[in-house]
Chains A and B, each alone.
Chain A
Amino acid sequence: MDAKKALGALITAVGLLLLLYALAGGAGDKAIGSKETLQTEAIAAILGWFGVLVGPALWFGEAPAVVRKAAQGGGNS
């Protein structure tokens, strides 16, 4: 696994953990974060969200084979 893919896998894993931590905490409290202060749970949720969005893009890299094949095959659907 090259460095870019390893970084993507790491970001995805950390993102997932942060997101799950926030979601689990939210399920107990009926809220992720609070209106009074910007809490750790809410920050974890947002950072985890970004991690989950961007991590797999680095991890899996280029377009999937099925997408490339559509381009090579003339694309007619």
Chain B
Amino acid sequence: MAVYAIEIIVVVLALYLVAYLYYGRRLLHERIVRARADASTPAVAQYDGVDYVPTNKYVLFGHHFASIAGAGPIVGPAIAMAYGWFLPLIWVIFGNIFIGTVHDYLALMSSVRYGGISVMSVSENVMGRKARYLFLLYTLMALLLVYAAFASVASKVFTGNPSAATMSLLYMPLALLMGMLMYRTGLGIKASTAITIVLVLLAYVYSYNVHLLLGPDAYHTWIIVLGVYAILAASLPVWYLLQPRDYLNSYLLFAFVGFAVLGGIIVAGGKLAAPAYTSFAPNIIGGQPTPFWPAIPLIIACGSLSGFHSLVASGTTSKQLASELDALMVGYGGMLTEGALSTFAVILPISLAWSAPVLIEMGEFQNTILELKAVPRFYVGYGYMLGTALSKLGLGFETAYTAFKLLAAIALAMFVMTTLDTSTRLARFAWQELFDWTASRSPGAYRVLTNRWFASFIIVALGTIMAYPEVQITPENVVPAYQVLWPAFAGVNQMLAALALLTTSLWIYKVLKAKGAYAGLVMVPALFLWVTVTVGLAWWLVVVAPNLPAVQKVGAGGIILFSLILNLILIALYATNLKRTPK
């Protein structure tokens, strides 16, 4: 049966609309959480001008969306296309609607109701103090790994694509300028945005022609430069750089998704060339046969659900929410938009470009797009769909193809930079919460340990230790040190998602007194996710780990084993605290 691009677009948009209006607004927002316009949020009640700052909901949506949309919604679905297009699409849509959006929204609202603390600290109120510190420590370790990975990826992108480096050099000061125009000149959001977008386009033209080159050892130089950048960006007030930068990023993201939808509509008659289904267990993770269940959350994260989102929602976003009513658009809508990104900008284009003769003629691949690695698979698919669409409007295919391939590369570079400094800020929050017990025992030590510059420095220093040195994992393969642990990251991230959803499900049950079907709306997906991730990690440990190089077997395997043990401790605490009276 032939399936066409337009059919996918219509069905997915309709499902997302129903999910937003009914599941999100009516059930979660109005019935379960009972968000109120007159409730004071932490951004207002604890305003400090640095991290706690009430923010316009559109600006905050930009920050939240850009922060949760790192490389994950792109790379994961691109890899999962090895199953054919149907299974990844199903996981993105249903994972997004029933788990990802609920997880993100509840992490945000539970944090808001507890004064802006992280979801890890919220767990203390429903699962006890031990759970809180275990959860915080685990999260801090995960964030250090994220920092190391993204510092390394960004350094490689800037070394291999010096135009992206020039663009970043210009983009950040322009974002700062927009913040100045918006907040200090009285120009307003619209005029400030228009001026900045014109300047960004000029910067793009300059960057296209001028490369920023940092000498013979550019990778290591970039690691240091990005470390300094991350300390600055994570310590400066949110209104200063983070908000305007992410607001600007959201335009890039919307243009990126919008072009994909338009392209899909223009090539509406385009039949999906990819097979709907290839196999239930193609060789994916570690080259091993990878069963769709339980392994899919280890492949597709952000586009469907991701633990990192709960850290953003209960980290930076909850401290900037001006009104509880904004949480639906920011937390729930942000996640739906990310699912749309995966569907329209990744799954659909790759399905169209699957074995396109023009791409074979151009030498992009020999038989199918699966021959390419995940990131170029995404660039080529996106470029192909937009190239085909514009060639129908009379523009040359190759020109449009090249231009949109570059847009895809720049969008990815910007997401990576955003994730880098957001993860540093989130790790700083986790670090500060981890040491809050010192406040009463030694106020001096507490002040030093939780000083935002000192804490950011510690995070970056620890992350750099994993990103800077290189280790030999096989006789032919030398990689940055973080890659010894990286194979475990997907599992750690999704374990965080399961624990965050369990925590918030307990919160709605114990504190918000949601019962019956309302409680089931959150508890059933939470338990499904917990079972899936737990079985997935066990599968990884038994099937994938034994085939890894020795150093990764010990490093990444050790982390997964530790995760499983911690997971069992936390589920035991969850069960024993089920009847505990919440604070």
Contact = CB atoms under 8 A, between A and B. Distances in A.
A76 B322 contact: yes
A46 B225 contact: yes
A32 B210 contact: yes
Contact of B214 (A38, A52, A74): A38
Contacts of B325: 76
B184 A64 contact: yes
B215 A30 contact: no
Interface residues of A, number: 37
Interface string B169-184: 1001100100010011
B213 A53 contact: no
Contacts of B213: 31-35, 42
A67 B44 contact: no
Interface of A: 19, 23, 26-27, 30-39, 42, 45-46, 49-50, 52-54, 56-57, 60, 62-64, 66-68, 70-71, 74-77
B215 A77 contact: no
A77 to B, nearest CB: 4
Contact of B173 (A19, A26, A31, A32): A19
A71 B237 contact: no
B293 interface: no
Contact of A35 (B169, B218, B228): B218
A54 B232 contact: yes
Contacts of A30: 209-211
B40 A26 contact: no
A42 B210 contact: no
Given A38-B221, A54-B232, A76-B325, 19 more contacts: A23-B210, A27-B206, A27-B209, A30-B210, A34-B213, A36-B216, A38-B214, A42-B214, A46-B225, A50-B228, A52-B173, A54-B236, A64-B183, A70-B54, A71-B47, A75-B40, A75-B54, A76-B37, A77-B326
Nearest to B169: A49
30 contacts: A19-B169, A23-B206, A26-B210, A26-B212, A27-B209, A32-B210, A32-B211, A32-B212, A34-B213, A38-B216, A38-B221, A42-B214, A45-B212, A46-B214, A49-B173, A50-B228, A52-B173, A52-B176, A53-B232, A57-B237, A60-B180, A63-B237, A67-B53, A67-B239, A70-B54, A71-B43, A71-B47, A76-B37, A77-B57, A77-B323
Tell me which of B162, B183, B210 has the highest count of chain A C-beta atoms within 10 A of its own C-beta: B210
Contacts of B172: 49, 53
A46 B166 CA distance: 10
A75 B173 contact: no
B55 interface: yes
Contact of A75 (B169, B215, B216, B322): B322
B240 interface: yes
B215 A42 contact: yes
Contacts of A37: 215-216
B148 interface: no
Interface string B22-57: 000000000000000100110110010100011111
Given A49-B173, A64-B184, A77-B57, A39 B236 contact: no
A71 B44 contact: yes
Contacts of A77: 54-57, 322-323, 326
B43 A62 contact: no
By Cβ-Cβ distance, the 10 closest A-B pairs, closest first, are A38-B215, A75-B54, A71-B47, A75-B322, A63-B49, A75-B44, A64-B183, A33-B213, A26-B210, A77-B322
A45 B354 CA distance: 42
A62 B41 CA distance: 21
B75 interface: no
B71 interface: no
B241 interface: yes
Contacts of B184: 60, 64, 66
B43 A75 contact: yes
Which residue among B57, B211, B229 has the maximum number of chain A CB atoms within 10 Å of its CB? B211
Contacts of B176: 52-53, 56
A51 to B, nearest CB: 10
A27 B211 CA distance: 9
Nearest to B42: A75
Contacts of B57: 77
B215 A36 contact: yes
A23 B55 CA distance: 34
A64 B216 CA distance: 43
Contacts of A71: 43-44, 47, 53-54
Contacts of B54: 67, 70-71, 75, 77
Contacts of A50: 228-229, 232
B241 A53 contact: yes
Contact of B210 (A27, A38, A64): A27
A27 B41 CA distance: 48
Contacts of A45: 169, 212
